[in-house]
Amino acid sequence: MRAFHGQLSDNQPIRRTLAEKQKQLRDLKETLASMKSHTAPALRDSVRKRIAQLEAELTAAPALKSSSDNRTQRPAAARAGEAPRRPRSRIRSDLTG
């Protein structure tokens, strides 16, 4: 069975919110602290590597968030007088008859 475009099995990275990343970082630190002495060094290294990646993402996140907030506020201010737009459905009921 083939995957359709955009399906989660398309080998795409999972996008997480800032809160989800913070939770994952806490969980990984707890996991690293609770590892036994006989745990494989490769497993320890991979957990440490992921912790370092998450810490780097979280330190860069406030700068990215403030720049994205500025971009999203400009168009909303320009459309202040317009009614909010409704998303289109994939199949229009008036054409299927």
The pLDDT, as a whole number, for residue 41 is 95
| Rounded Cα gap, residues 23 and 54, in angstroms | 10
**pLDDT: is 18 or 13 the higher one?**
18
Cβ(65)–Cβ(18) under 8 Å? Answer: yes
Please give the model's pTM, rounded to 2 decimal places: 0.55
Q: pLDDT tens digits, residue range 50-80?
A: 999 999 999 987 776 666 555 555 555 555 5
Angle formed by the axes of helices 18-33 and 41-78, nearest 10°: 170
Determine which helix (DSSP H) or strand (DSSP E) holds 44, and give its type and residue range.
helix 41-78
